[in-house]
Amino acid sequence: MTQNHIIHPQDFLIDKAALQARRSYKWRHYPADVLPAFVADMDFRVAPAVQAAILETVEAQDYGYPLRGGDRPHLPLATVFAERMALRYGWTVPAEQVIALADLVQGINAAILAFSEPGDGVIVQVPNYPPFRESILTTGRKLVPLEMVRTQGSYGFDLETLEAVIDERTRILVLCNPQNPTGRAFSRAELEAVLVFAERHDLIVLSDEIHADLLYPGARHIPFASLSAAAAARTVTLSSATKGFNIPGLRCAVAAFGTDALLKRFHDRVPSRVLGSVNHIGIDATIAAWTEGQAWLDGVLAHLNAMRDHVAETLRRELPAVRFHLPDATYLLWLDCTDLGIEGTAHDFFLEHARLGFSPGEAFHPDGAKHVRMNFATSKPILDEILERMVKAARANQR
């Protein structure tokens, strides 16, 4: 496929019957009568270039130990990542400072172990991606919340409150940009304020930028490490093609260290053998996505933008009591259902009364029981059925 080939929804959409036949967590976690809209997985076929890269290995039955970068098997992946960052964001990161990982959660866990000690504080935005909280608590660190506060039409940081709750043992700030689950893509001014805070308290910044490919018109992604040399010196950037190109099962991600010294500090505590090796089919697929998949991604983003607006218009018209802000990025909506007057958690209500599987809000925030996270990366017929069930259940409860 040429890069100028126009991608239409029919090129990547999959009908419900085919989705239900898949052996995926999204479509097998709940009973068959439940429509899933939870885990961050898109109901789309992958880019043709990605499929071709996988088939090349499968058809050749090439499953031996890979040799793609000489004595550094993952160097081609690191090189393509560095080239993509320079092209899309003007951020220069040497390929030698990029390592391969199975996924971002592995990178977060390893970096927490490398740059802090048990009992140290790790700052994380709340609401937040649940495995981040798990990474902090299971490694014996202390979770320090950075509240995302609702502002006029969006969400922002509350650094003043954070200043009052950290102490001298706070070592790390986990930044998610674009943010999951609120969908914020932070401005340069916001990121520079975080940098000033990190410098004042000598924090390592672990910047999860996995959703950076999923931006809507008017939004811009700024890699945290690109702010300045000083920012790079304290930043580990974590990224992957898994969200933008819908290949999470292929287990491939990267961690980019802002300096050689930072990478050395990491490997002094986490030997490379502890991280293991990444599936080389995942590497090939990721390289294909980042080098040949942009036309497909552009088509997907056009569809996601339309679905985002469709959900927003429907909820504002049919369920105005549900509060939310349009996301700048991601295919996720953080829905506040407090004013619907439902008993119990919002997740349980919609599961029982609408047979809808949303992500439970309490998994993202301790006080989020009346929230759900909704995934709208699907076809319009499926999305319409989700919305119809949601509206019907909420209205019946209000009566």
At residue 284, the pLDDT reads 95
> Any idea how long the chain is?
399
- The dihedral of CA 343, 344, 350, 352: what is its sign? negative
What gap in Å lies between CA 392 and CA 376, rounded to an integer? Answer: 18
pTM for this entry: 0.95
The most distant pair of C-alpha atoms in the chain lies apart, rounded to whole Å, by 68
What gap in Å lies between CA 219 and CA 217, rounded to an integer? Answer: 6
What gap in Å lies between CA 11 and CA 210, rounded to an integer? Answer: 24
Q: Using alpha carbons, list the distances in angstroms from residue 21 to 43, 46, 96, 361, 375.
A: 12, 17, 42, 28, 20
Torsion angle of alpha carbons 343, 345, 349, 350, nearest 10°? 150
pLDDT, tens only, 253-307: 999 999 999 999 999 999 988 998 898 999 999 999 999 999 999 999 999 999 9
What gap in Å lies between CA 155 and CA 180, rounded to an integer? Answer: 12
Q: Which CATH number fits domain 65-292: 3.30.565.10, 3.40.640.10, 3.90.1150.10, 3.40.47.10?
A: 3.40.640.10
What gap in Å lies between CA 164 and CA 179, rounded to an integer? Answer: 23
- Ordered by start, the domain boundaries in the chain are 9-46+294-398, 65-292
Residues of the chain with pLDDT under 70: 1-5, 69-71, 73
User: Which strands, in side-by-side order, build the sheet including 371-375?
Assistant: 35-37, 356-360, 371-375, 332-336
Nearest CA to 207 among 148, 257, 153, 145? 257
Q: Does domain 9-46+294-398 have CATH number 2.40.50.100?
A: no
Do residues 168 and 203 make contact, with C-beta atoms less than 8 angstroms apart? no
At residue 71, the pLDDT reads 62
At residue 314, the pLDDT reads 98
**Residue 149: Cβ-neighbour burial (10 angstroms; 0-12, 13-18, 19+):** exposed
